[in-house]
């Protein structure tokens, strides 16, 4: 595993009058235990806490330090020349050169994310959209065609259907779950398939086996945005997908306090992306990388709570007379329930549902909820609730909106990690007011 195999770094860069000999810095940790090298392969819970952090431990710090610098200095010209000759920034680095080419705190976050997705490497970028746009820019060229599944994040579809067309790249959108349409959409110049799973807002789940089979048959790459699932619930690379994208803004960082994205996959592609990131510039601040590392430590626990609460609340809503319909992959009524059960170990905390009545009645219900706050985004510790018609689709023509299935009564709930019984009681009282 390229990223996570990064070894202990030289912790002194340059300046001291008595240069330290390589790798023997007295700032390095004397405790060289590797918590990942136990008798059995570490689970995702253990990886989330320890993976990627072995590179350096200055001052015996338990946590990865925030290396808040824009540039890195060299002891002397000989060291600079040696670095230029031997250590290009896209290789597993022993030191850095300039902030846009890499940062040790960011690299630690990347190594942890790579371990969680069982990937060779990971690249962290400044937002989920930066991860998506950088990846598509690099993998597609003028004259290429690609396929995207409907019911994806609206900004992603916007980038694919309008932005990329300016560069001569065309895109066909197919319905999720329609594998015949997917295969029929393949053209001689098709290069890749991009899909979310679960999708937003109807939580459609991919049959990775069928998708990868079709892609391999036609020599296409597969890129899967599994922001809604996280590596705790599914690891598409294990099904043969080429790249996985996450908006770290959501579950992975998990605290509704930062924006970031990542791409995980094979070293060759992530290296190409890393090289282009150094030009396109969508890099992450080291402090933000530290918050991601910190958030990831509790990922396993948080996802357990999101999964459990999500399923209980989805069942409660499905059985409530004032709820018309619920979309949640853990429910037998969801169109992709069988696929979700086969491929996922949990279904997350996002539930979409329609309230009986109209848009204003739905607004009354939302306003009556005391725990979930009204707002976009998902995957954080705080529950969030919204009517997609009033947020992501506010500026869409009502007829076009309805064609996408976005009714005024549609609600998207992101279940946080509050006590499930408190949330259930809150929804019960709020529905009484409709």
Q: What does the per-residue mask of binding to ligand PLP show for 149-178, with x meaning CB under 6 A?
A: ----x-------------------------
Residue 247 is a binding residue for ligand PLP (CB under 6 A):
yes
Please answer whether residues 21 and 131 qualify as being in contact, where contact means their C-beta atoms are separated by less than 8 angstroms. Answer: no
Site for ligand PLP in 198-217 (CB under 6 A): 200
Range in contact with ligand PLP (rule: CB under 6 A) among 67-75, 116-124, 125-133, 332-340: 125-133
Of 127, 298, 396, 420, the residue at the interface with ligand PLP (CB under 6 A) is: 127
Q: Give the burial class of 357: count Cβ atoms within 10 A of its Cβ; 0-12 exposed, 13-18 middle, 19 or more buried.
A: middle
Range in contact with ligand PLP (rule: CB under 6 A) among 126-134, 142-150, 289-297, 397-405: 126-134
Residue 259 is a binding residue for ligand PLP (CB under 6 A):
yes
Residue 379 is a binding residue for ligand PLP (CB under 6 A):
no
Length of the chain equals 434
Residue 225 is a binding residue for ligand PLP (CB under 6 A):
yes
Crossing angle of helices 286-297/299-318, nearest 10°? 70
Conformational region of residue 102, where left means phi above 0, alpha means psi within -120 to 50, and beta covers everything else: left
Residue 129 is a binding residue for ligand PLP (CB under 6 A):
yes
In whole angstroms, give the CA distance from residue 177 to residue 199.
Answer: 11
Residue 388 is a binding residue for ligand PLP (CB under 6 A):
no
Name the residue whose CB lies closest to ligand PLP: 128
Helix (H) / strand (E) element for 80: namely helix 77-86
Residue 222 is a binding residue for ligand PLP (CB under 6 A):
no
In the complex, least distance from residue 12 CB atom to ligand PLP, rounded to whole angstroms: 35
In the complex, least distance from residue 21 CB atom to ligand PLP, rounded to whole angstroms: 43
Residue 196 is a binding residue for ligand PLP (CB under 6 A):
yes
Please, which residue, 370 or 373, has the CB nearer to ligand PLP? 373
Residue 261 is a binding residue for ligand PLP (CB under 6 A):
yes
| CA dihedral sign of residues 373, 375, 223, 105 | negative
Among the listed residues 413, 335, 328, the one whose alpha carbon sits nearest the alpha carbon of residue 369:
413
Please, which residue, 389 or 430, has the CB nearer to ligand PLP? 389
DSSP secondary structure string for all residues of 3-39: GGG--PPP---S--SSPPPTT--TTS-S----TT-SS
Helix (H) / strand (E) element for 363: namely helix 359-368
In whole angstroms, give the CA distance from residue 409 to residue 407.
Answer: 5
Q: Which two tokens stand for residue 22?
A: 């390589």
Please, which residue, 164 or 323, has the CB nearer to ligand PLP? 164
Range in contact with ligand PLP (rule: CB under 6 A) among 127-135, 215-223, 318-326, 393-401: 127-135
Crossing angle of helices 299-318/420-432, nearest 10°? 30
Interaction site with ligand PLP (CB under 6 A):
127-129, 153, 196, 200, 225, 227, 247, 249, 259, 261
């Amino acid at each position: 595993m390229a990223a996570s195999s990064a070894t202990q770094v030289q912790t002194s860069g340059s300046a001291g009058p008595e240069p330290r000999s390589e790798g023997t810095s007295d700032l390095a940790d004397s405790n060289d235990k590797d918590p990942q090298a136990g008798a059995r392969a570490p689970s995702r819970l253990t990886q989330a806490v320890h993976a990627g952090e072995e590179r350096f431990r200055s001052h015996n710090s338990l946590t990865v330090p925030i290396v808040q610098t824009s540039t890195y200095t060299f002891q002397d010209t000989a060291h600079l020349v040696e670095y230029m000759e031997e250590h290009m920034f896209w290789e597993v680095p022993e030191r850095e050169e300039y902030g846009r080419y890499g940062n040790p705190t960011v690299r630690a976050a990347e190594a942890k994310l790579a371990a969680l997705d069982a990937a060779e490497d990971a690249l962290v970028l400044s937002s989920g959209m930066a991860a998506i746009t950088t990846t598509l820019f690099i993998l597609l060229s003028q004259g290429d065609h690609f396929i995207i599944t409907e019911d994806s994040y609206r900004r992603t579809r916007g980038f694919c259907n309008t932005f990329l067309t300016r560069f001569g790249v065309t895109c066909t959108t197919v319905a999720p779950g329609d594998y015949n349409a997917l295969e029929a959409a393949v053209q001689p110049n098709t290069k890749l398939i991009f899909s979310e799973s679960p999708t937003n807002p109807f939580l459609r789940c991919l049959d990775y086996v069928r998708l990868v089979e079709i892609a391999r048959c036609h020599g296409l790459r597969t890129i899967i945005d599994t922001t809604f699932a996280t590596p705790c619930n599914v690891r598409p690379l294990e099904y043969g997908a080429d790249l996985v994208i996450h908006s770290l803004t959501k579950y992975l960082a998990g605290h509704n306090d930062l924006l970031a994205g990542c791409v995980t996959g094979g070293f060759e592609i992530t290296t190409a992306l890393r090289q282009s990131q150094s030009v396109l510039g969508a890099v992450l601040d080291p402090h933000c990388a530290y918050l991601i590392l910190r958030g990831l430590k509790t990922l396993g626990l948080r996802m357990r709570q999101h999964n459990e609460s999500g399923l209980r609340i989805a069942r409660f809503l499905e059985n409530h007379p004032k709820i018309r319909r619920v979309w949640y992959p853990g429910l037998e009524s969801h169109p992709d329930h069988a696929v979700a059960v086969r491929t996922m170990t949990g279904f997350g905390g996002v539930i979409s549902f329609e309230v009986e009545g109209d848009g204003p009645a739905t607004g009354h219900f939302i306003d009556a909820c005391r725990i979930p706050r009204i707002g976009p985004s998902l995957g954080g510790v705080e529950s969030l609730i919204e009517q997609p018609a009033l947020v992501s689709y506010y500026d869409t023509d009502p007829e076009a909106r309805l064609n996408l299935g976005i009714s005024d009564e549609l609600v998207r709930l992101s279940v946080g990690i509050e006590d499930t019984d408190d949330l259930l009681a809150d929804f019960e009282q709020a529905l009484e007011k409709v």
